[in-house]
Chains A and B, each alone.
Chain A
Amino acid sequence: MIATQLPILQVILPLIMAPIALIVRSPRTVWMLTLLVTWITFCISLTLLMQVLEGGTIVYRIGGWAAPWGIEYVLDKVGAFVLVIVSAIGSIVMTYARRSVEAEIQEDRIYLFYTMFLLCLTGLLGIVITGDVFNLFVFLEISSLSSYVMISLGKDRRALTAAYRYLIMGTLGATFYIIGVGMMYMMTGTLNMADLAVLIPSIADSRTIQTAMAFLTVGVCLKLALFPLHLWLPNAYTYAPSVVTAFLAATATKVAVYVLIRIVFTLFGDVNILEGLGVQNILMALAIVAMFAASIMAIYQDNMKRLFAYSSVAQIGYIILGLSFASQVGVAAGIVHLFNHAIIKCAIFMGLGCIALRVGGVSIKNMYGLGYRMPWTMAAIVIGGLGLIGIPMTVGFVSKWYLVRAAFEQDMWIIAALIVLSSLLAIVYVWRLVEAAYLKSAPQDAAPISEAPLSMLLSLWILALASIYFGVDATTTMNIALDSADTLLNGGLQ
């Protein structure tokens, strides 16, 4: 019985636990409850992925109401894959969170953090699993509002302005999205994705639908921080508590990319908006500019969290570039990089969280000599950094390999060269950190510090090792990505 209810349980569990957290309040207990919920959702999403891989797309009707009257939850391969990414990161971040949260968030607000975290998780999981564009908007707002609150919990007062700016930009994005949804509803009378995908092609030439498409795309690109709509991201990542940065960097933008995939390949799948309306060229150009501009910005940052925040903007460029090829290999490269980048960035930000806990800051000066003072933390961050560069045997290599192949397939030699060129920029910013940590010595008056606590190191190293494991044996992730891309390009949800 329960097996058929898994899709809804996935969303309900964290949603129910959120108010419970608000009532219980004791930081320790709340943490344990949240930890439990995150691991359960992880197990559920793994089960769902297995089911989807074996039996194809899962459709779940809420309350038994058939679409288009009721709300459907629909899970296909790409959805199940992103679901696993989000819930896996959620559970690992939670394992890591306790000590870091105690250090970085005022004690009387800790329960609020966990409440918001659970809501955010609800929202993100909901976005991925729903098959209804309005329901998606609701989940988008749940996750966004809760993440504004989580960011503002940072100790630095600038966290407030960062959260505020994200609030403005995020609301703009969500508003654009809902305007787009409204227009589609006006033209088709339905909010169900599968329904929309069927109805849109016949009216695709109408001005309204095209405007709707523009609103949807721009709105989502704001949420996923595609250059030049990324301005909210660096500050938000820099001033948020470390745990929040690690979680959001690995999930929030990824889920937004998932929404873009749904819009481009499912809703407008039969219209071929990528080539027909010139969206392809715009996305490709912006992606390439992001890869370079953000990497160059990253090189000049002295705050490590900000440095890797800019690096995230650049990496999102890779993902969008992959999608914009609109070929099986290209889309697969984009999808697999969702996973790969989530692992890498989450590991790096968790590592920086360890450093913030022990050293008290994450500027480049704080890194001096850390290679010897916190060897395990630093080694894990370096592994992540190698992944960003795309060194073989890390996950970054796999993504880059398929991206370049996709470029060559379409005879876009220059784009192939640009991909590797921009990854050379990653060497520069990663090596600034390496040189600081290993070739500079710690200041004379530096207080002696110990390694990060075991719970944090453990989570950090699970991800660091995962980034190697899925780099050495990428057949699982790559096959899922290739299959998903194939389904997406040939007709979306069903």
Chain B
Amino acid sequence: MSMETTIQAALVTPLIGAVLIAFSGRWPNLRETITLVTAAILFMLVASLYPEVMAGGRPSLVIGEMLPGLRIVFTVEPLGLIFACIASFLWIINSLYSIGYMRANNEKNQTRFYVCFAIALASAMGIAFAGNMMTLFIFYEALTLCTYPLVTHAGTDKAKKGGRIYLGILLTTSIGLLFLAIVWTWLIAGTLDFTPGGILEGKASNLVIGILLALYMFGIGKAALMPFHRWLPAAMVAPTPVSALLHAVAVVKAGVFTVVKVVVYIFGFDFLSGLGSADWLLYISGFTILAASIVALRQDNLKRRLAYSTISQLSYVVLATAILAPLSIVGAALHIAVHAFGKITLFFAAGSIYTAAHKTEVSQLDGIGRRMPWTMGAFAIGALSMIGVPPTAGFISKWYILNGAFDSGQMLAVAVIVISALLNAGYFLPIVYAAFFKKENEKPGQDNHGEAPLSIVIALTVTAAMTILLFFFPGVFIDLARQLV
């Protein structure tokens, strides 16, 4: 298969999957098989692009002109490939998990759930492979819209409210800020193509560049930079598989991915670092990292705590980008990957606890580790990766980010990363401790549960194992990320 066909297939496969899923709603087993097969095919397609990109190729696919002078175009480059690999690989695992979760919890409208999921993945692929900013924006908005039915899946008033915040913030930032930035860039630069070295150098005054950068960074609401982070906790009303794949991987990573992409290919990081107008981004992202961690400390609801942890971890990527050192950019790209594996494990564990024990609060988890050893064992690995302790993958990306910070003498960034590691330990380790070493409080009428259904346990074991494996074999991603600089 030629590279163009492969890109095309990667974009279309999830959509075909969505149609087939919609038509097989009456036969759940067939429907779930289709989901799994689609996910597997998608991953194979994405993986088959790897050798070409590693060899320095940048396969490209032009769909056609949308507006006079503006094409819909897809180009595969290292960062996009990393994002696409993770999203498509974890979709397989997450589908396995979804099957166990959705069935065990007797969720309604499961067909709609799987259809929207497949469309969300198609949008994620569109974002990953977008060859210019307009193409990226199209799929960015599509991703927001097709995840809305997933957030409001329960149909309750709480879900409706969560959906409003979700949509409200994501659309407001993207239409209100990002859209302006894109049109303005197009006017100034005359193109929107992602070009190594950027397209804005020498095209506008420093003031305009500064305003543009702010419009981009806050406009990419999916990166959850404060003060536009509230949508992420609000999205936690969704079923856990949604929180796991979309609100720990696909949607949020689409956000930080876009941040890195804009800095590297629209502004060009040499240009930005010479300009010095990105310093404020360092402060904002540093603040977000610490503030979100402190908020996380105080959350008793497990999923909300994870959500705030995600906000904090996303800003690592923004911080690493804002440092504007080659090593830290590599670190940013790596962090997109390693955080995905760690955080999805944590969410899987949270959903597993909910399915088996119907518990949602951190304070209810005393002693649960003995009933659910696999779940809590995986949780512990995920937590360690968040803190950045070897031998988990979280260590690798932090190592690169820290190196980059030292190289460019950004001691503030170093301090933020160190303090944040402590805070991470502060809100994750007590959960692990309580689960394994505290005594279960015996309440009358408490049901005698064990582990969650097998497919859930398999899924979270795989992602936990991957988190450790990535520590020993990070080469796959590092080699790609190095091509960025």
Contact = CB atoms under 8 A, between A and B. Distances in A.
Q: Do they bind each other?
A: yes
A474 B66 contact: yes
A424 B167 contact: no
A417 B155 contact: no
A474 B138 CA distance: 14
B67 A417 contact: no
B180 A416 contact: yes
Contacts of B164: 431, 435
A393 B68 contact: no
A473 B171 contact: no
Instruction: Select the residue from B66, B134, B138, B164 with max chain A CB neighbours within 10 A.
Output: B66
Interface in B166-199: 167-168, 171-172, 175-176, 179-180, 183-184, 186-187
B66 A421 contact: no
A420 B187 contact: no
Interface stretch (A25-33, A178-186, A401-409): A401-409
A478 B159 CA distance: 40
Instruction: Select the residue from A401, A417, A421, A472 with max chain B CB neighbours within 10 A.
Output: A401
A482 B137 CA distance: 24
Contacts of B137: 392
B142 A439 contact: no
A398 interface: yes
Interface string B409-446: 00000000000000000000000000000000000000
B160 interface: yes
A426 to B, nearest CB: 10
A215 B390 CA distance: 79
A479 B180 CA distance: 22
A398 B183 CA distance: 11
A398 B186 CA distance: 14
A490 interface: no
B65 interface: yes
B389 to A, nearest CB: 42
A472 B183 contact: no
B22 to A, nearest CB: 12
Nearest to B152: A439
B183 A417 contact: no
B67 A478 contact: yes
A385 to B, nearest CB: 11
A398 B69 CA distance: 13
B145 A391 contact: yes
Instruction: Select the residue from B137, B160, B179, B186 with max chain A CB neighbours within 10 A.
Output: B179
Contacts of A400: 179
A93 to B, nearest CB: 28
A475 interface: yes
Given A424-B172, A431-B167, A473-B66, A409 B187 contact: yes
B155 A478 contact: no
Given A405-B186, A417-B180, A439-B152, A473 B65 contact: yes
A135 B175 CA distance: 44
B141 A439 contact: no
Interface string A308-342: 00000000000000000000000000000000000
A386 B175 CA distance: 12
Main secondary structure of the interface of B (DSSP, over half): helix
Interface in B377-403: none
B51 interface: no
A401 B183 contact: yes
A408 B172 contact: no
A392 B67 contact: no
B64 interface: yes
Contacts of A408: 183-184, 187
Contacts of B68: 475, 478-479, 482
B382 to A, nearest CB: 33
A424 B183 contact: no
A318 to B, nearest CB: 14
Given A416-B180, A420-B180, A478-B67, A435 B160 contact: yes
Nearest to A409: B187
Contact of B67 (A401, A424, A438): A401
A405 B64 contact: no
A473 B172 CA distance: 25
A427 B171 contact: yes
Contacts of A409: 187
Nearest to B160: A439
A389 interface: yes
Contacts of A405: 183, 186-187
A387 interface: no
A351 interface: no
A390 interface: yes
A474 B64 CA distance: 11
A342 B179 CA distance: 24
A423 interface: yes
Interface in A460-494: 472-475, 478-479, 482
B25 to A, nearest CB: 13
Nearest to A417: B180
Given A420-B176, A424-B172, A427-B171, A392 B64 contact: no
B62 to A, nearest CB: 13
Contacts of A390: 175
B183 A473 contact: no
Contacts of A421: 176
Instruction: Select the residue from A420, A431, A472, A478 with max chain B CB neighbours within 10 A.
Output: A420
Nearest to A474: B67
A306 B18 CA distance: 36
A19 to B, nearest CB: 45
B141 A391 contact: yes
A402 to B, nearest CB: 8
A28 B222 CA distance: 55
Contacts of B180: 404, 416-417, 420
Contacts of B179: 400, 404, 420
A48 to B, nearest CB: 23
A472 B175 contact: no
Instruction: Select the residue from A409, A439, A472, A479 with max chain B CB neighbours within 10 A.
Output: A439
A389 B175 contact: yes
Contact of A392 (B65, B141, B155, B186): B141
A392 B184 contact: no
Those 4 A-B pairs whose CB atoms lie nearest each other, nearest first: A392-B138, A404-B183, A475-B65, A439-B160
14 contacts: A389-B175, A392-B134, A392-B142, A405-B186, A408-B187, A409-B187, A427-B168, A427-B172, A431-B167, A435-B163, A439-B155, A439-B160, A472-B66, A473-B64
Given A391-B145, A438-B149, A478-B67, 16 more contacts: A389-B171, A391-B141, A392-B137, A393-B138, A393-B142, A401-B183, A404-B179, A408-B183, A417-B180, A427-B168, A431-B167, A439-B160, A439-B163, A472-B72, A478-B68, A479-B68
